[in-house]
């Protein structure tokens, strides 16, 4: 029987650099901007003394942990780096939370970062080093559920377009988001096709960025902030490969279904739609957001299009989702995204989310799904 991390670890500081095509800043710049904002948020004045360990998530770098040590000038301390597709950030957060919960450290720093815009290509690299499966792009992976889901439940590209419109709107309200431009359903439907049914606006904005948070033991959280938030659950799950699983039904993704079950168990949540107040979920593509509504157990399988039509998940709806614009417009520096969601959910719970603030939010979920997809990370934060 697995245990739970509920109420053992607190988030006492968050920070993020501006997400975008950061041509003028290096990975070091972004790591330092995010970490030092988190330090200030937690009131940490002497990080080289106060931070006992660092847990990082990044997909693109090959330099290992020295890069982070050199950026933050934290030496002689444990620094770890994890890399697992798009749930990398949540996994870095999970390792940090587990390390604190174990009693090994009082205070740790979690940093997620990535800088894909130094590679010379727009969008992901097309993978040429494998024999099978070309073209191997994330759009190609995630779009494979569309044809079957659309035919089974009568949904279509128009439903996806409305998700893009919502997230573009929310992005205009987040100071550090990459894209700040409202779009219309027609804009989304008429954009060039990337991988059917995904047009340009159905795809997340790949960007540079870094986000950070400070974790400490729940009982010492008050030393940093009065309005700290608590970790209610954090988990990851690795599923069958959807391109090989002989039982895969193309109607939803198993990684999220597995991870949600464990996260709700840890947090003691039985009715997620009622008990959660705000959600940041992994909208790498609009279809991912649509199917994740159902994979998270928020609504009935096949009912997403009805909830999209009625605005359930809009900023003023019953359960606002991707309040900062999501991957779609805040940007998606792969390793940073999970930590950016912790940043946004912490601000929402503390009432610091300004124009995009959700009223009376006390329980917030963040979700990453990655790979073909095969891996999902979920974190739930709540007020004490």
Contacts with another protein, residue ranges (CB under 8 A): 123, 126, 128-135, 137, 139-140, 143-148, 151, 192-197, 240, 243-246, 248, 250
Tokens of 229: 């938030």
Tokens of 62: 């090959």
Q: How far is the CB of 370 from another protein (least distance, A)?
A: 18
Q: For another protein, which is the closer residue by CB, 60 or 250?
A: 250
In whole angstroms, how far apart are CA 284 and each of 43, 104, 125, 292, 330? 34, 35, 15, 11, 11
Spatial distance between the Cα atoms of 101 and 186, rounded to a whole number of angstroms: 49
Tokens of 154: 């009568």
Q: How far is the CB of 45 from another protein (least distance, A)?
A: 47
Q: How far is the CB of 198 from another protein (least distance, A)?
A: 8
Q: Sign of torsion, CA 56 57 58 59?
A: positive
CB 31 within 8 A of CB 210: yes
Alpha helix segments (H runs only) across the chain:
27-42, 47-50, 66-72, 88-101, 138-142, 146-153, 157-171, 185-190, 254-267, 272-275, 286-295, 304-310, 326-330, 334-349
Q: How far is the CB of 143 from another protein (least distance, A)?
A: 4
Q: Please choose, from the candidates 343, 346, 109, the residue with its C-alpha nearest in 3D space to the C-alpha of residue 216.
A: 109
Q: How far is the CB of 332 from another protein (least distance, A)?
A: 16
Q: For another protein, which is the closer residue by CB, 132 or 359?
A: 132
Q: How far is the CB of 130 from another protein (least distance, A)?
A: 8
Q: For another protein, which is the closer residue by CB, 195 or 266?
A: 195
Q: How far is the CB of 190 from another protein (least distance, A)?
A: 14
Question: CB burial class (10 A; 0-12, 13-18, 19+) of residue 299?
Answer: middle
CB 88 within 8 A of CB 59: yes
Q: For another protein, which is the closer residue by CB, 1 or 131?
A: 131
Q: For another protein, which is the closer residue by CB, 89 or 199?
A: 199
Q: For another protein, which is the closer residue by CB, 195 or 345?
A: 195
DSSP notation for 120-177: S-SSSPP--S-SSS-S--HHHHHGGGHHHHHHHHT--HHHHHHHHHHHHHHHTT-TT-
SS3 of residue 109 by DSSP: strand
Q: How far is the CB of 133 from another protein (least distance, A)?
A: 6
Q: For another protein, which is the closer residue by CB, 73 or 244?
A: 244
Q: How far is the CB of 121 from another protein (least distance, A)?
A: 9
DSSP notation for 168-231: HHHHTT-TT-S------HHHHHHSPEEETTEEGGGB----BEEEEEEEEEGGGGGGT-TT-EEE
Q: For another protein, which is the closer residue by CB, 204 or 214?
A: 204
Q: For another protein, which is the closer residue by CB, 121 or 309?
A: 121
């Amino acid at each position: 029987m697995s245990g739970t991390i509920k109420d053992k670890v607190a988030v006492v500081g968050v920070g993020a650099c501006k997400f975008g095509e950061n041509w003028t800043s290096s990975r070091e710049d972004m790591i330092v901007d995010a970490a030092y904002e988190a330090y200030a948020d937690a009131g940490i004045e002497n990080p080289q003394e106060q931070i006992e360990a660092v847990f990082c998530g990044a997909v693109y770098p090959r330099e290992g942990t020295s890069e982070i040590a050199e950026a933050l000038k934290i030496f002689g301390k444990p620094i770890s780096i994890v890399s697992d597709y798009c749930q990398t950030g949540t996994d870095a957060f999970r390792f940090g939370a587990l390390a604190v919960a174990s009693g090994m450290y009082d205070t740790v720093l979690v940093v997620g970062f990535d800088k894909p815009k130094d590679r010379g290509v727009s969008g992901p690299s097309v993978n040429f080093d494998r024999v099978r499966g070309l073209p191997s792009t994330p759009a190609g992976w995630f779009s494979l559920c569309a044809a079957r889901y659309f035919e089974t439940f009568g949904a279509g590209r128009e439903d996806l377009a409305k998700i893009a419109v919502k997230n573009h709107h929310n992005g205009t309200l987040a100071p550090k988001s990459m894209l700040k431009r409202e779009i219309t359903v027609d804009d989304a439907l008429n954009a060039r096709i990337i991988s059917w049914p995904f047009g340009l606006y159905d795809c997340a904005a790949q960007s540079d960025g870094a986000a950070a948070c400070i974790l400490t033991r729940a009982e010492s959280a008050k030393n940093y902030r009065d309005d700290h938030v608590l970790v209610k659950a954090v988990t990851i799950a690795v599923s069958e490969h959807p391109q090989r699983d002989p039982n895969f039904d193309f109607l939803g993704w198993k990684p999220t279904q597995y991870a949600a079950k464990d996260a709700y168990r840890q947090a003691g949540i039985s009715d997620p739609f009622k008990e959660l107040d705000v959600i940041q979920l992994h909208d790498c593509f609009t279809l991912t957001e649509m199917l994740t509504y159902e994979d998270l157990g928020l609504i009935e399988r096949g009912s997403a299009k009805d909830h999209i039509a009625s605005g359930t998940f809009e900023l003023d709806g019953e359960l606002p989702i991707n309040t900062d614009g999501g991957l779609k417009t805040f940007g998606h520096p792969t390793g940073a995204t999970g930590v950016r969601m912790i940043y946004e959910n912490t601000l929402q719970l503390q009432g610091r989310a300004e124009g995009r603030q959700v009223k009376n939010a006390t329980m917030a979920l963040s979700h990453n799904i990655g790979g073909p997809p095969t891996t999902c990370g979920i974190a739930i934060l709540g007020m004490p």
